[in-house]
């Protein structure tokens, strides 16, 4: 037990060390807006040729909300989210229409009045960490790749890839559940499943910080599942990290059935539960990347990350 605790202490990255050794050193304050404002994220990634979900509409003032109604009704399926929201707050996933109502991923039905009130809250900054005025974004609903869709409960899973100095260092598949209302965020009730960076297969999983083996809603095993298009997922995440201009960034990638990997959003202050999901501390990989000569090309950076992931190392939970 003592040896195990010493190994955890040696290999795991804590919040204070993340802030002082990574965020303060590697993430310029002038680049935080790229991750904190989803409109800025889309603009920067588009300029770099990195694919993202289609943006259908932007609402920046309360008087514009009424004009959204015909567009949302015509779309039928969409995601409404705050431009400057964090942690999944304020995101509503609408999967269709029934009897004049909007149907959420959970199956709940919302009237137009419900939608309008929510959009007004978003614009007023109710879901922005700063509390300042915000904008409501209407994005295309991603149609999940069929293999991953079997593991998602009424929502779309994503892959969180941590990128350090342009090199992928750790990855986690995030799965929606009945509790998370179609969203994949762990703190909202989603599941985190570690992914072996080297081969793209899932390993160990957590829910509410506790290890699990099967999806609580679908009763399906979570280990040894191949993430489709893994090479492309890592390449897109690596390109997005470089475009963001942030030395340490979390890149959330969804795999669309038609378009392949798309970057959903960036996180300039990524959480650390990904270590628990993988049972693997970040510090050895970060130290190796910090000491390495970083290749100029995306393929070389991805290959470096995979080699480091495949190197012999202890898992935190073993």
Q: What is the pLDDT of residues 159-196, one digit of tens each?
A: 999 999 999 999 999 999 988 877 888 988 999 999 99
Residue 6 lies in a domain: no
252 and 270 both lie in a single domain: yes
Same domain, 285 and 274: yes
Strand duo 210-212 + 167-175: pairing: unpaired
Assigned domain for 2 exists: no
Q: What span, in angstroms and rounded, lies between the C-alpha atoms of 84 and 57?
A: 15
Maximum alpha-carbon separation in the chain: 62
Is residue 116, in this structure, part of any structural domain at all? Answer: yes
Alpha helices for 185-282 (secondary structure H) = 230-244, 273-278
Q: What is the pLDDT of residue 203?
A: 97
Same domain as 153, residue 62: no
Q: Is residue 124 part of a domain?
A: yes
The pTM for the full model equals: 0.92
Q: 248, 253, 214: which is closest to 237 by C-alpha?
A: 253
pLDDT score recorded for residue 5? 57
Query: Per residue in 62-74, is it b (16+ CB within 10 Å) or e — as a string?
Result: eeebeebeeebee
Q: Which domain holds residue 168?
A: 11-52+144-310
The residue among 139, 157, 187 that closes a domain is 139
* 87 and 190 housed in the same domain: no
239 three-class SS: helix
Q: Within this chain, do residues 68 and 152 fall inside the same structural domain, yes or no?
A: no
Q: Is 80 exposed, middle or buried (0-12, 13-18, 19+ CB in 10 A)?
A: buried
In this structure, the answer to whether residues 153 and 285 fall within a common structural domain is: yes
CA proximity to 129, closest of 55, 54, 35, 64:
35
Q: Are residues 28 and 79 in the same domain?
A: no
The whole-angstrom separation of Cα 184 and Cα 93 is: 11
Do both 280 and 194 map to the same domain?
yes
Tell me the C-alpha to C-alpha distance, in Å, between residue 172 and each of 8, 101, 115, 201, 290: 19, 35, 32, 10, 22
Distances (CA, A) of 227 to 193, 197, 207, 256: 11, 10, 19, 12
Instruction: For 77-105, write each residue's pLDDT tens digit.
Output: 999 999 998 888 889 989 899 988 999 87
Residue 76, CA atoms < 13 Å, CB-side half-sphere: 4
Nearest-angstrom CA–CA distance, 131 and 123: 10
Residue 4: inside a domain: no
Which one of 85, 117, 139 terminates a domain?
Answer: 139
Note whether 176 and 210 are same-domain residues. yes
Residue 258 burial (CB count, 10 A): 7
**Co-location of 212 and 261 in the same domain:** yes
| Paired residues of 163 in beta bridges | 168, 249
Could you tell me if 114 and 257 lie in one domain? Answer: no
Strand partners, 139: 55, 79
Residue 84 lies in a domain: yes
Three-state DSSP state, 83: coil
233 in a structural domain: yes
The torsion angles phi and psi of 214, rounded to 5 degrees, stand at -130, 150
Residues of the chain with pLDDT under 50: 314-318
- The DSSP call for residue 200 is -
Rounded to the nearest 5 degrees, what angle is found at the Cα of 267, between the Cα atoms of 263 and 268? 135
Beta-bridge partners for 221: 214
The beta strand positions in 176-217, using DSSP E, are 191-195, 202-207, 210-212
Domain count, the chain: 2
**Is residue 248 domain-resident?**
yes
Last residue of a domain, one of 81, 111, 139: 139
Provide CB contacts within 8 A for 235, sequence distance 6+: 261, 298, 299, 302
Q: What is the CATH number of the domain that holds 37?
A: 3.30.470.20
> Are residues 207 and 186 part of one domain?
yes
């Amino acid at each position: 037990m003592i040896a195990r605790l010493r190994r955890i202490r040696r290999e795991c990255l804590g919040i204070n060390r993340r802030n002082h050794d990574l965020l303060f050193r590697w993430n310029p304050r002038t680049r935080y807006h790229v991750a904190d404002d989803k409109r800025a994220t889309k603009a920067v990634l588009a300029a770099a040729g990195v694919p993202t979900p289609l943006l259908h509409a932007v609402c920046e003032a309360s008087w514009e909300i009424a004009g959204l109604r015909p567009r949302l009704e015509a779309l039928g399926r969409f995601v409404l989210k705050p431009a400057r929201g964090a942690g999944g707050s304020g995101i509503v996933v609408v999967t269709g229409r029934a009897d004049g109502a909007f149907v959420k991923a959970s199956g709940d039905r919302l009237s137009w009045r419900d939608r309008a009130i929510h959009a007004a809250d978003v614009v007023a900054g109710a879901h922005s960490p700063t509390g300042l005025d915000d904008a409501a974004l209407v994005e295309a609903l991603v149609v999940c790749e069929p293999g991953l869709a079997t593991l998602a409960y009424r929502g779309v899973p994503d892959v969180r890839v941590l990128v350090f100095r342009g090199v992928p260092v750790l990855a986690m598949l995030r799965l929606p559940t009945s509790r998370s209302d179609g969203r994949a965020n762990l703190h909202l009730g989603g599941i985190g499943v570690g992914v072996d960076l080297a081969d793209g297969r899932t390993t160990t999983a957590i829910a509410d910080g506790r290890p699990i083996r099967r999806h609580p809603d679908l009763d399906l095993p979570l280990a040894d599942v191949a993430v489709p298009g893994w090479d492309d997922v890592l390449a897109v995440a690596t390109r997005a990290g470089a475009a963001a201009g942030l030395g340490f960034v979390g890149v959330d990638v969804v795999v669309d059935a038609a378009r392949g990997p798309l970057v959903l959003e960036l996180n300039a202050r990524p959480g650390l539960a990904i270590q628990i999901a993988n049972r693997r501390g970040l510090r050895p990989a970060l130290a190796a990347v910090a000491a390495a000569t970083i290749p100029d090309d995306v393929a070389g950076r991805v290959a470096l990350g995979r080699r480091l992931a495949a190197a012999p190392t202890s898992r935190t939970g073993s």
